[in-house]
Every structure is written in C-alpha cells, then in structure tokens.
Amino acid sequence: MTAFWNEADFDDHEMVHFVRDRDSGLTAIIAVHSTHLGPAAGGTRFWHYAEGGDAIRDALRLSRGMSYKNAMADLPAGGGKAVIVADAARTKTPAMLAAFAKAVDGLAGKYVTAQDVGMSEADMVALSQHTSHVAGLPGQGGDPGPYTARGVFLGIEAAARRALGADSLKDVRIAFQGLGSVGGGAARYCAQAGAQLVLADIDADKTKALAEELGGIAVSSDDVLASDVDIVSPNALGAILTEQSIETITAKAIAGGANNQLATGEEGTLLQQRGILYAPDYVINAGGIINVLRHIDGADDAVVNARIDTIPVRLEAIWQEAENSGQAPNQVADRMAKARIGR
C-alpha cells in the first residue's frame, strides 16, 4: 500500500484515516477532503480491491468529488468518503460494521457517512447503533438511488436540449451503462418520456428483463458506449471514459450518474475537441446527496425535489461558461466548486 500523500489524487486532503480492526477483520479508509462548508459528508463504499493502492485512490478521488458535489449543490456540507476493503468473497459482518461505526464516531462529527456501492440502508441502521454521524436513515430520505435517478433524468433532458436542440426526449436514442437503482430508474423516466433505449449491465438477466419492460435493446457492457445513439449515460463504476473508449463514442452527449467517469480528467478536453457535450458527474448525480443530507436543515420532500430541479440550471451555466471560456465543462465545474470551498 503506497503512502497516500504520494498519490496523484491527494489534493491537500484535511485528513486520511486508516482503520484496521483485527478482531472483526475490518480494513477501511476514511478520507476527509474539505470541511470548509460543513462536516465532510459522503457515503461508504464496500468493495474488493485488487491492491491496497486502489482503495486509497478511490477514497481520495471520491472524497474530493464529494467536496465539489456538495458545494455545487449549495449544501452546507464538505466532502468526505470512506471505503471498506472487502475480501474476494465480499464478507461483511455485524462486528465489522460496528468497528467501522466506532471509527466514524471517533472523528466526532468531522465525517458523516451514508450509503454507497455495497452498502445498504440496513447497513446504515447497523452503523447508527454505534454512531450518530450517519445520514440517509429511514425517515431521513432512505435510499438515495431514486433521487439520484431523477436528477440524472433531468440532466439528460438538459443535455438533449443543449446538444441536440430537442425540446423533449421523444425518439431520442439513449444508451445506459449500468441498470441499478440509478441507471434503471433514469432509464424508466426516459422511456416514459418517449426515448429509445439501448441497455447494458454486467447482469445479463437484468439487462434482458429491463429491455423487455421498456421496449429497449439489450447489448453487452463492452459494446454500449459505442452504440449508435444520441446520448450515452454511464451509471456503473467510474473511469470508463478513456482516450481509447472516447474514440469509439458517436453520441453527441454524455450524461450519467456514475462517479469519476473521466479516467484522469484530461478526457474532458478530448470530449470537447470531438464535439461531445459532457455533463460533469458530480453535478448531474447530486440528487442522492441532496436527499441524504436533508436532515442538516430539516428539508422535506418538496424542498429536496426543488433542489434537484436546479440540476439542469447548474449544468446549463457550466456549459455556457465552457462555451464562453473555451475550457472543458469538467474544468469549468471544478473551478466553480473550488471557489466555493475556498480553494
């Protein structure tokens, strides 16, 4: 495992906390990027990493992304993220969750956790038995997926207006990579709006079932980015937009809920050069965190949905500034976010 301060993704993080509990087998990393706007908020990811360095990089990148996401969503929260390093069998025990919760509690509110990949609402309830620094509990918004999906759908509509001049999604061809709570939910919204769908997920049965439900076409995850569509919507894991994958994309826009879609960040410029509109991921996928952090200021469903409704407005402001400045949309969004967190 490499030293975190030597990682390219170390961005003057306020704290990187390594957690090891021998009795439960817990290995975890809690990364706090910024508390400039409030407690560092971001979910916990439960994932099997081939190497320890991969876990560090994930925590660093995701926590920085949460700083930017929360800032751009005008939430009174900073950015943090945690990863629990799973074994190959994805073994998760109550003792492991308890040990992790106690580590979170030891940070005295500097980090507030929530759901992410591999962690359920039931896991959040288990964590809450040992720490109060947990968001997204039942009665506090619960599963963030449906709220993220709605924001992604609104962002796709905005991308269609900007890149295609379309005033609706009727007959707009959209390819979805990843059909979980976010991708599947956004695909259903788009189908209701009359879009033509190309669908892919690593679970072939899920892909086939949703394609039959929505009248879409099922393809493999390896082929979906290169589909003959108007918009590509990545909703699985990150780093899928590389120099090589971008060469295969014929769509006019990319708008999806996956975190860290750009492999290095430089791909934003490649997309711009190819005339492909990009919706910065931490702006379009903010619906989930907007919902999860509702308890900070007591927002109800109406307020949460009103905040999600502003996602297209933020995207349009980014795209317009990108057009005016010549910078790529991800660069514009990063600049805006950094200013909001005092960097």
The DSSP annotation for 24-67 comes to TTEEEEEEEEE-SSSSEE--EEEE--SSHHHHHHHHHHHHHHHH
Q: Which of 81, 92, 110, 252 is catalytic?
A: 81
Report d(CA 168, CA 180) in Å as an integer.
24
Active site residue 208: no
In 3D space, the residue among 218, 188, 222, 191 whose CA is nearest the CA of residue 206 turns out to be: 218
Contact status, residue 284 vs residue 235, Cβ threshold 8 Å: no
Tell me, what amino acid is at 329? P
Report d(CA 194, CA 199) in Å as an integer.
15
Q: What is the DSSP letter of 18?
A: E
C-alpha dihedral (87, 92, 94, 97), degrees to nearest 10: 70
In 3D space, the residue among 83, 79, 60 whose CA is nearest the CA of residue 68 turns out to be: 79
Contact status, residue 100 vs residue 84, Cβ threshold 8 Å: yes
Report d(CA 318, CA 329) in Å as an integer.
6
Contact status, residue 145 vs residue 120, Cβ threshold 8 Å: no
In 3D space, the residue among 195, 166, 179 whose CA is nearest the CA of residue 236 turns out to be: 179
Q: Which long-range contacts (CB under 8 A, 24 or more apart) does 307-311 make?
A: 307/73, 307/74, 308/147, 308/150, 308/151, 308/154, 309/154, 311/151, 311/154, 311/155, 311/158, 311/283, 311/284, 311/286, 311/287
Active site (catalytic) residues: 81
